[in-house]
Each structure stands twice: as structure tokens, then as C-alpha cells.
Chains A and B, each alone.
Chain A
Amino acid sequence: MSAPVLEMLLKQLDGGNLRMVAALAPRLTDAERRRLGEDLPGLLRDVQDRQPGFSWSWSMERHKWAFMAAGAGGIGGAAAAAAWLTRRDLRVPSSDGEPAHALRVVAAAAGRPAAWRAEVARRLAGRLAVADQADPHGNAAAWRICALLSADAGAGPPDDDAFAVGWANWTDPEELAGDPFLGAMLPRLFEIEIIGRVLGGTYQGRPWIDALTALARAGGIDRTALLDGCLRRLLRGGDLADLRWYVRLHEALAVTPEEAAERLRDYLRLLPAAPAGVAELALTEVRRADRLGALDGAAFAEAAEALLFRPEKKLVRAALIWLGGSARERSRVDATLAALPVAFGCEAHALQERAVEVAVKHAAEAGEKARQAVREAAAALPADLRAWVAAAFGDVEAPEPAAPVVLAPPPPPALLPGPISSIAELAEQFAVLERTDPSWQDVERVLAGIVEFGYRDPDGVRAALGPFVEDESDIWNQPVDFGWYFAAWPAVWPKLAARAIVEPDAPFPRVDRVTGSFHAPLRRFLLLRMREIAALAGRVPVVLGTPTSSTGHIDPDELVSRMERVEAAGADPGPFDLQQALLRLPREAGADAAARARRLASPAGRELADRLAGGPVPDPAVECVLLQGARSAGDAGSGLVATVTPRGEVPDPVAPLFAFPWGSSWQSHSEGEHPQAAPEIHWWPAMLPSHTETAAAHLLPHLAPLVEADHEQGAALLGLAEADGPAGAAAGAALAYGLTVKSARQRAGAVDALLHMAARGRLPAAELGAAVGTLTEHRIAKPARVTGALAEAAGAGADAQVWTAVAAALPVIFAAIAEQKIKPPAGLPDLIALGTRTAEATGARDGVPGLAETVGRGGSSRLVKEAARLYAHLTRW
């Protein structure tokens, strides 16, 4: 007598022998089966305890399969069996052996009633997840067991979506002909949203398409079912990524004109709103049906209007070719002319021109009603096209000249919240700093509050802020790289200041170095002032340099009052804070403040009085320099930077701000240390609110490496726009960088800044244009982005400024093309077209060097056409 079956099975299970477990399981007696089912969880736990890596180690895969087989053979309830087979810790990665293993698991259940097996399959299907089954690394084993159990039990396939997705994912298309579920699953391929991505995943979905079309040819499946399925799925819509496989299948089916004509309505309805790739397919079929004469008047009008309204230029152009080529042949000149006005409304001049060309071509054959419709619609066209239409169709009424768009006045600077008014509010704002990425306004305000209350009521501050600083004291005792610290965590300064009040005797951190200070003297100045404020907290009654306006300016009267308090307290203000306060004075200080300041007695007070009487630090000379360490666009070693040379005397602590680069020249550094993008550039303009051009010079080396990054460039440029003082080449170059930034949000910020400066009458438009030209020449600026941004500005009323900028940019670009430094960049024709539009709007006629030569190149490229249009406008008298 051999050993009982169960005993043998358990031994094989322990060794992970799937084949033997599967062979033995059907031979179990009912009692043995029950025992196996009851013992399985414990047995699995034992193996897992022995093998710590059981659930993830691939070497345990055999054991997992064996346990699944044991479950299929032993577990009593169908629900429990399905749960067992989908246990997370029995999940096996998909592998070549998986179909064979799954067969054995199903074989293990051979002794169970068919109804039970069918029920397990049904419940298994319910446990599959759509997203998992669509994943190439999903649970193929569970799906396969489910499929085999269903087939084996003679049940139809489960109707869960996840099962169908699994079928698409795990079925080998080469074996499709013999697939038991093919008939049931085929319609599902066109119903479930995610399946298109699954089928299109491997080799662009070719194997599936080949298999399906081969089967259709052999008569195994109905070809029209495939075609109609495609159309149904395309009509349901979705992203092109969801639909691409169906577009390919549709293509492979090679629709006949008759089939296209039968399904004309469906194709028509795909034209207006389907993704471009799908609409192109539909246009092809509509044209095919059209050649059979299947389009009646209404269908033609629907198709033409839908296509000409599409946002994609490619589709509009294709539609115009179709319309222009078929009007006579299909005798529908009037219907064609009735549809064309939709394309007159396009934004692109080239498409409007195309549409006019088609209209003019058919003018002679048009009926009076159609001619009149074209004349009316042509009123909205640009002048040159209007004239063309008028020549062929008779007089076109010029539109009422629209009221010119005027620049909105610059919005007033944002109000700064008043000083912190209580220790409770201070605690609250401190909590905000801890958790957020604070703005400079927040940090300044909290620092001012700590100093103010730390002097008036140190015990109160100790009680309120103690909990915030106590738990982190050990991090202060190491040398600090201030540059890095600041970048990562601007809240460190208020923390240090609070700590100076809470624990006055604690050691103050040593400044070790300031990363990147060669390129960022403003950062160095900012950090030294912050450190100074923190160190003086509790010993001075007030911070001098806290701004009173969001531009960074300080009200002179307020500053004199602060200085009076410092003097009354007999305190010494820190030198950096004093200099920051002086830099933040408006360029024109009132006489009252100057008179009050004359009564100040301390050295600092006298410096303030002198400044109020004598005006700001004289504007330094700022000159743009092109660095050509150029290796690639956006490389930090290349681009436009600026040299700042002081004029007149500059106090020591701020000397490096007005002599930049400090003690050196750009040339000697272009191959050396490259600037790292400073994270706090949007703090800088408010540090030099009366010296726009100097602030711009400091920003430039940091804008170059950020062209492709989303990094608060917009806020930095807005700061420049709100500042005072002359704005020239450096400010223009900074704006040019902003207009070519990749991030739409930052670019919008640059447009805000441009408009703000334009509205204040201080936009260096020509310098901006010249910088756009230079940056385009060196492949840093992308004309397509710049044009979009400038067009926004023109639409908001800055036509004149935009024309000045375009007129300054084009000569540089034309020269670079003529000298064969660059090929004509993408987007250049649009930049020229914008120039034409703004020149027309402002009546400008100034010459553009290089334009005539570009026109003279001849040919029919868009570049030459747009150049010729601009030339025609500029030379028309």
C-alpha cells in the first residue's frame, strides 16, 4: 500500500513541484481535500517563515505555482479559491512558462464539479483589475487561470471589462485563429476605453492588426465588423493615444469608396472634434466618398465648415486643397464659396491667403448671391487680401476702424500687509514661514517683527517662539554654507533671529562660505544682511531696511523715524542693514524727510541725511556683453551678461553691487565657474528698487541657464518692471530671456512685465528687440515662443513697442542668416507677420536693414512671402 495521496502531495508541495501537485490533487479523497484546504494557509505561512524572501524572490516562483495548484485542488468554497489564486503573496511575474504552469493549476482542479470551476472562473474575473490587466507587467497568471477554467468548465468567457483587457494583453495574436474566446471578445476590443493602448503597445500594434486582417481575409471574422468597430470606437472619442491603434487598423482595412460612402455620416461627424489624427482619416474617407458623388449639399457644407474651423493648420490647408480642387469638377462653386469665409477667420495670414486664392480662382463662375457673401465676409480680412478679393468680386467695404486698443494703466503695486501687530500674530507668521516657501515680503516682515518685539518684550517672544526653536538647537552648531542654506531654506534667518532672543547665550553659527557668490553678489549682500539682523536681534529696536512697498522701496519719512528710534535707544545699526535701507530709498525723496534727517546725530543718521539730500548712488554704466562659451542653447557659459562700472563714490558694503563682476571681467571667467541658477532671483529686484538696470545686470547670468526651467523668472522680471531708474540694454536682455522661457507661466510673467514697463513709458523696446535678435542668432531664443509672447503684448495695446522690438530684432537675425551663421529659424515668418501687423496698426514706415535682401532671395517660402508683405507695407506711400 503506497502512502496516502495527501502525504505525497504535501511533500511535493513543500518542494515546490507543480507538476506532481497538479497530478496528485485530483486523486485526493473528499476528506483529504477538506484537510488540504484547511491546512493550506498554515502551510504557506510555514514556507514564508522559512524563506524570508518568499513573496518577492523569483526563485520561489515554483513554490507559488505549486501553492496555487494546491489551492485549486483543495479549497472548498469557490470564492475562497478565487481569493487564494489572486493572493498578493502568490503573485508571479509573467514568464514564458506561465501558460504551461497555468494549465497545470487548472488540471489540479480537474476533480471538482464543472459548476464549481465555472464559479471560480467567474469570481476570479471579478477580482481582476482593469489597470493591472492593461499593464505589461500585470497579473497574467490570474487571467490565464481564469480563462482556462472558463474554457475547461464549458462556460463562456466572463463579461468583466478586466477580463477582456487581459485577453487583449495576454493573447498571442499569432494564435488568434484557434482562440476559444475570439468571437465573444472581438466586439469588446472596440468598447473598452483602455484597450487601444494595450493593443497598440507592442510594435505599434502591428501583430494584432496583421492577425485580424489576415483572419478577415480568410473569412474567420467579419471584415465589416472590424471596420464598424473602428468607427464606433473613434466616435466614442478620447485622446489620440487611445485611438491610434484603431486609426492604424482602419488604414490596414483599406476601405473601398463604396464602404466609405455607406458610412459617410460617421466620417462626417468625426471631422469637427476628433483628435487631428482621426480627423485626417475621416477627411480621406469623405474625399473618397466625394469622388463617388456621395456628398449632397448639406453633407458638403457640414464637412467644409467643420474642417475650415479646425485649429490645426494642416487640416485647414488640406481642406482648402480639397475644396479648391473639386469645386468645378463637382459643380459646387457656390457652395464652396459659401464655406470659405470660415477660413477667412483663421489667425494665420497664410491660411487666409490660401482661402482667398481659392475664392478668387472661382470668382468668374460664381452666382451673385455667393459673390455677395464673399464680399461681406472679406471685410474682416487684412488690407492686402481685401484688395485681392475686391479685384475679383467687386468692392469690399472696409470694416469700421475698431477703436485702437490702449494699454491698461499699470496696476498699483500690491499692498504690503502692515507690520506685525502682536506677539500672537508673530507666532502665527512664524508658523507660516516654517511650512511654506516664503516670499521675501514674508521673511522681511517676520524678521522686523522679531526685532521689534524682541527689543520691547523679550520674555513674551521667548514664550511664544521658544517652542519653535528649542527642538532644533543642534543644527546651529556647525559651520554653515550660507549660499546653500539660503537656497534650501530662507526661513533659517527668522529662526536664527528668534533663537538670539530665546537663547541669547547660544553660539552663533560661523559663516563658512557663500556658494556661487562670484556670480551672485546680491545673494552675498542679502545673506550678510540677514545674518547681521539675526545677530543684532534684541539689541536694536528696529530693522532699518524693511520695505514699506511691494516694490522694495521704503518711505523716507518712515526710515527717518526708524533712525530716530535707533538713536534714542543708543544702538548701532548694522552696516549691511543701513546700506540696504539707503538703497531702498526712492530716487526722489521728499524735502520734509530730508529736513527731519538733518537733526540726526549718529554717523548712520548723518549718512541717511546725506543720502536724502544728495540723491541715490549714481547710476553706474551698464554694458551688455555676449559670452561665447557656447556649447549648446541654455548653457550657462554662453549668452548675454552685463558689466557694471561704478560712476562716482559707492559705500564699501555695496561696492560689489555697482562693480560687477567684482574685481574681474566676464572674459576671464567665461571658461571658469559657471553660475548656478540662483533660487532667489525674484528677491533681487526689490533689493535695488531704484536701480533697474543694475538689478537687471545681476539677473542676467542667472536667466541664461533657466531658459528651459520654470523658476520664478516672471516674478523677477515683474520686480524689475516695478522698480525705478533707467532701464536699458540689460533690462531689455532680461526681458528677452523671459519671452523665450519654456514655461508658459513664466513667459506670461515676462509679458506682464513688458506691459507694465510699456504702460509706465519706460520699456527699452529697441534694446529688447536687439537682445531677441542676438539670442536667436546664438540659438538661445526661440522665435516661435517670443512671437507668441510679443503678440499677446501687442493684443493688449503695446503695438508700437512691439513694432520697435521686432524692427530691432529682424536685422540681427537677417544678418546672421546672410552670413550663414544660422538657418532661418522656425517661427521667423510669424515674427515678421507680427511685425507687419503692428507696423500697420501704428502706421510705422521705418526701414528694416536686411529686409529687402531677404525679399530678394526669391522663391515661394513663407519666409520670403512674409518678408515681402512687410516690405510692401513699409515702402508703400
Chain B
Amino acid sequence: MAGIGTAQAYTYPRPSGLAGDVLGLSTSGGTTTAGPRDHPYFFSGLLTRAAPAAAALLALADVAQTRYHRPRPTAFRDPVVTCNGDRLRLESFSACCGVYARLDVLEQALDGEVHERGTTNVDVNGPLREALARVGGDDPLHLAVGAEELAVTTLDGAVVEKKVPLPERWLRGFAEVQVITSGFDPRAELGAAEAVRFVRGLPGARSPGTLWAVPAGRGLRVAARPVPGAVCLPGPGRLRTMLPLLRFARALRAYGPAVRAGNGPVASAWELELPGMRYVLVLSPEPHRGFSGEGAVLDALATDEAADDAELVGALLSFEPRVEPDLIAERAGLGLARTRAALTQLGTAGRVGYDTAEAGFFHRELPYDAERVLAMNPRLRNARTLVDEGRVTFTGPDVAAVDTGGRPWQVRFAGGSPDGTASCTCPWWVDHRGGRGPCKHVLAARIVRDAAKESAR
């Protein structure tokens, strides 16, 4: 896969760190309501709950630095911060791409001035970790995300340049998580004492495979099999970064898709409510699976239907903390259904995120060239190649043979429904059976079928 990695260079005017009692988070290039900025200046003011905020930032940094599957030391990766006006959201992935972490610092925990809304990266480094670990007790903590243009330009010498090889899978992960979590529903809510008991009682880091959390008494119990209402707990060791936050915890909420007995592993979201903040971890269905390969965006990407609407809707977003589909629908002059489809399409490009706590989308613009990366989705690219080379032959109304040299793979559309699930006989499909989205053969067959329908019309 040579050439897939993108060296993403960040330039920070200075390192992040604690100067006096001001925690300065340095920003690199990003997008704001006023367009692209080299070093956007989002917020300055007081973090009213300093200790939990510092601990949660450390937890986020820990996730970014950990490779949960086959652990080995990795360098820091800088979180993405979005200022939505009334709140700051910091997002990151684990180095293995199987855990998504977000810290939402809400209005109640912020007391200061919002200078701009937008998205950028913030610098995380060793001395910053040390400074964050020193925050505690009732010490007040001033926070600045970015700095005034003047202050930035008058500083000399201390510029930080980081060149982090940023795999494209990291970027694809942002899109996948959004699509996957928007299908979640709340499944359980634990009070502080039960949350402490549950998280501390989870099996350790030597992850024992997929477990399930099922309601039991006033809390949750770890079970070996899914029942209706269960939340998947794939690699429970991946919730470990919540341990240092438990002392501030007010509640723990779990979100996931509906499951039934006999269900395979699925993703799940775990949200720890802290004073004025929420710390959210989303776990991929299995520790070895990164979100990037989950394939949840592929069906939407394979069709171009909503693309024009998405462009229109995208232009109307301005870093709202909550994107209200009906408001947008009115302003765009589109129906609600088309607006929702357009939002999904925007999500596939990582341009909106999904907040399970509020069951709503929020706007962000990733500080990466996301469109290009997503268009390069390897499975989709390979499917288009198969179509172009004419390797797909329909042998029946719902069965196609895809010839890739050896034994031809058979793609079957179940039940004959137009959007019905399709399956394949290729090894990749057999390994995941739809759990990671369609394989390239299914995608190719679908493209051929859709094209045939289009021309028939």
C-alpha cells in the first residue's frame, strides 16, 4: 500500500503548554466561519472545572497514543478541536484506529470569550501532559485555544513543526464513526456509584475478546452473549482511559445498535458524564478492526444521488453545535428527507460529526483534504475497476458472477429487494459477512445493476 500514507505537516506558532496559569493550546491550520486560517483563535477564558478538564484531556491524549491491537509505543497524534460557539469538542483516534475518543467541553464548564468558530488541530506534547497532570484541587485554570494574530507573529523562534505520517485510514475513520454512531440508540444509563463499579470491574487490558453489557439490577453486567437490549463490549480493556476520570463521573451512558440473540460483535459508544463535560469513547466491533475499514459509508459513496444536495447543504453550515435538519431544509429549500440524505452524504466526507448524547449532528471541517481521501477509498476504487473491466455478469435476476481470475465469486441480492442486503462468496465477505460493509464484488455488482436500471428507465 505504498503511497497511501499522507504526510500531514502541522505548523504551530509555539508548543502548547502552561504559561503562568494559562493553559495555551496551540493551533495549526484550519477552517473557520471566516474561511481558512493558519492559526485560528477560538477561545480564551476560564475552565471552571479545571481538574476534570485536565484529566479528560490527558485521557484523550492517552487514547491518541495507544495502539490497542498489538500494542507498541507510538508518537503523539494531535487531536482535532472544533469550536461550535457554545462548546469545544476535541476528537481523536487511537493509533490502531479502533477507538474514537471525543471530549465535549460544554458551556457550563467554560467562562470566557469565543473569538471564532471552526476546526483545527491542537498541539499535544510531553511538557503539556506534565502540566495537565499538575492541575488539580480547586486551582483555577485559564484556557486559550489559539492566540491573537499579533501575539503569534511577535513570538519568535519557538515555532513547532510536526510532520506526522497520517494514514488515510485515520481520515476515513472520522467519516465511518459518524455514519455508524448515527444509527445508535441509548441502551443504558448508570449513576455514579454503579458506573465506578462497572468500569472498575471490567476485565483487564489483556482483552478477552467480545463481551456484552446487559442490564442487571441497577447496573450493567458483563455477559458472554447478546440478548435484546445488550450493548457490545468489544475489547473492554479499551475503556481503560475512563478509570482516572471515574472520580469526577456523574453518570455513564451506553449507546449501540439494536441487537438480538446470536448477534455478531458491533460497535458501541460509552459516554462518561463529567461536570460540564462529556468524555465519549466509541469502540470498533473488534479490537483488531479499525473504524476506517468498516465500510459503513460505502453504499452512500457508491451512489452520487445526494451529491448536489450535499453541496448546497454544506454551504449553509457554520459550525453549529447542533445541526437542525428542519431549519436547514427550510433554508436550502429542500425537503426534510433530502436534507437528511444530504447530511449523511456530508458525514461520509467527515464534514459533520454525530453526538450520541444529543442525538444530533454537529458541523466540523476536518483540517485535512478529506474529499480526496474518501474518493480514494480502496474498496470503491477496486469495485469501479471491476466494472470498467467488464468482470461482472448477471446470471440471474439477483445473482451475479464476478470473475477475478480464479474461481468466480458469486454475488447474491437477498429477497430481490432493490436495497436489500447482498452477499458474496469471496473470502473477505466470508470473514466479515456484511459486518464491515459490502465487499468490492458486491459494490461492483450493485453499480452494474443500478446502471442497468437507470438505462432501462
Contact = CB atoms under 8 A, between A and B. Distances in A.
A796 B58 CA distance: 34
A366 interface: no
Nearest to B134: A269
A874 interface: no
A302 interface: yes
B217 A405 contact: yes
Given A435-B430, A749-B224, A415 B215 contact: no
Interface string A427-469: 1100110111000000000000000000000000000000100
Contacts of B457: none
19 contacts: A232-B130, A235-B130, A235-B134, A273-B244, A347-B197, A405-B217, A411-B261, A414-B261, A427-B425, A428-B410, A435-B427, A436-B430, A467-B407, A714-B224, A718-B225, A745-B210, A745-B224, A795-B216, A796-B221
B119 to A, nearest CB: 28
A299 B72 CA distance: 37
A740 B200 CA distance: 20
A273 B410 contact: no
B151 to A, nearest CB: 27
A265 B426 CA distance: 60
A435 B243 CA distance: 39
B445 to A, nearest CB: 13
CB-CB nearest 8 A-B residue pairs? A749-B224, A796-B216, A414-B262, A273-B244, A414-B261, A405-B217, A744-B203, A431-B425
B77 to A, nearest CB: 14
Contacts, number: 138
A191 interface: yes
Nearest to A795: B217
B126 A345 contact: no
Nearest to B227: A411
Contacts of B197: 347
B431 interface: yes
Contacts of B218: 402, 405
A408 interface: yes
Nearest to B263: A414
Contacts of A824: none
B186 interface: no
A309 B214 CA distance: 26
A751 B217 CA distance: 15
Give the interface SS of chain B, mostly helix, strand, loop or mixed: mixed
A408 B430 contact: no
A225 interface: no
Contacts of B261: 411-415, 550
Interface string B4-27: 000000000000000000000000
A131 B262 contact: no
B138 interface: yes
Contacts of A272: 136, 244, 247
Interface string B213-233: 011111101111101100000
B193 interface: yes
Contact of A302 (B133, B136, B223, B425): B136
Contacts of A792: 216, 221-222
A366 B228 CA distance: 52
B164 to A, nearest CB: 15
Contacts of B244: 272-273
Nearest to B193: A345
B363 interface: no
B369 to A, nearest CB: 28
B433 A408 contact: no
Given A265-B136, A751-B224, 13 more contacts: A272-B136, A272-B244, A272-B247, A309-B247, A311-B243, A414-B261, A431-B430, A434-B430, A718-B224, A745-B224, A748-B211, A748-B224, A752-B223
Interface of B: 55, 58, 62, 72-73, 126, 129-130, 133-138, 193, 197, 200, 203, 208-211, 214-219, 221-225, 227-228, 243-244, 246-247, 260-262, 396, 398-399, 407, 410, 412, 423-427, 430-431, 433
A193 B73 CA distance: 9
A319 interface: no
Given A414-B261, A743-B208, A748 B219 contact: no
B398 to A, nearest CB: 8
A425 interface: yes
B262 A550 contact: yes
B247 A131 contact: no
A811 interface: no
Contact of B223 (A345, A414, A751): A751
Interface in A212-240: 232, 235-237
B133 A237 contact: yes
A872 interface: no
A298 interface: yes
A97 to B, nearest CB: 31
Nearest to A430: B425
A361 B21 CA distance: 41
B237 to A, nearest CB: 11
Contacts of B426: 431
Contacts of A268: 136-137
A56 B215 CA distance: 59
Nearest to A298: B137
